[in-house]
Amino acid sequence: MTQQARDQVGRFGIWRSERQVTPELAATVEELGFGALWLGSANGDLAAAEEFLAATTTLTVATGIVNMWQYEPHQVAASFRRVEERFPGRFLLGVGAGHPEVTQQYAKPYDTLARYVGTLLDDGVPAGRLVLAALGPKVLRLAGERTAGAHPYLVTPGYTAQARKILGPGPLLAPEQKVVISTDPVQARAIGRPRVEKPYLGLANYTANLRRLGWTDADLSGGGSDALIDALVAHGSAAQVVARLTEHLDAGADHVSIQLLTPPGAGPADGYRELAGTIQAR
């Protein structure tokens, strides 16, 4: 990943499910100075990414992720070329294997992902514009060797430090971090725990990764221990949250994608503004 590309995504971006993003929200993310907008559970036709790029002028839009089991790689590559022609240099394609619990054809995911990446590259997707949803060491190495880098999800700064050692100094490392802006730990956990428990504490790839980080079965049961939830969902004042986000940068991340969790019915824009002002004031 070149320094130019790192500068393009900046230190902080916003992660949000694709279906929860509007062109107006994308414009707000850009206006506030975030470098990238990551679209969770993205459609392989990349139509939403194209729509959000059209609503902005400098923002990088990235998929986090396109599921390789759901979308044929030749079609995804063709969609990438369409978006790239219209918005050169502003789109980052994130792909990954998803979860065995929700994919009937889930078999030999590493081999399938390696072939998928090879097809995308052969079809003209530049390696420097492709990232992988990576958790385990094998996929991290694949990301570092064949793509721009890795976009890990549901991780801690401790994981980020380990991932940087595996990737080496060159590739992009852009972890996702959930946050709640609340100085009341009970309230913050009430918002964050349901978003961690379902579905992630029921998905083997995430629980295996958490166990590799030292979390126990007791931490992973009953909706997650307070310690686990506090590690996976940064909470506190905006300044405290930004300090937690910065721990990823200190551990070796190039960029952190922020998933702001809010109470039911509350939009994210005010929280984004508060975080952006705190980041700019540091």
Per-residue pLDDT of 210-256, as tens digits, reads 999 999 999 999 999 999 999 999 999 999 999 999 999 999 999 99
Average pLDDT estimate for 83-97: 97
pLDDT at site 6: 78
Percent of the chain surpassing pLDDT 90 = 93
Q: What is the pTM of this model?
A: 0.96
pLDDT at site 98: 81
Per-residue pLDDT of 9-32, as tens digits, reads 999 999 999 999 999 999 999 999
Expressed as residue numbers, the domain containing 192 is 3-281
pLDDT at site 1: 47
Per-residue pLDDT of 142-200, as tens digits, reads 999 999 999 999 999 999 999 999 999 999 999 999 999 999 999 999 999 999 999 99
Measured CA to CA in angstroms, residue 220 lies from 204, 215, 224 at distances of 11, 7, 5
Instruction: Work out whether strand 256-260 and strand 66-67 pair parallel, antiparallel, or are unpaired.
Output: unpaired
CATH of the domain at 96: 3.20.20.30
- Overall number of domains in the chain: 1
